[in-house]
Amino acid sequence: MDLGLFGWIVIGILAGSISGWFVGSRSVQGCLPTMIVGVIGGVIGGWLSGAMGMGRVEGFLGALLFATIGAVVVRLVLKALEENR
């Protein structure tokens, strides 16, 4: 199933928002930064899925799960960089 551009934007917004619940960082606020964190998280999550031998992520829930995992990683990195300032 190909989500298309709009589907990946929705996944990015959802994954970015969900990752904020897990990390609790207030460094990324607003719709656009949250979406960017989610989209970057989707790229990282897709890479992780391949690195773990799971292959290509299929379906909405799989994409959301791996994008959220990746977005949590992105937020943790941002939080660590923020604490070093």
**pLDDT exceeds 60 at position 1:** no
Q: Which two tokens stand for residue 47?
A: 């890479």
| Cβ within 8 Å of residue 64, ≥6 positions away | 11, 14, 15, 18
- Tens of pLDDT along 21-34? 888 766 667 777 88
Distance CA 53, CA 25 (A): 30
- Tens of pLDDT along 8-67? 778 888 888 888 888 876 666 777 788 788 888 888 888 888 788 777 777 888 888 888
pTM comes to 0.82
**pLDDT exceeds 80 at position 5:** no
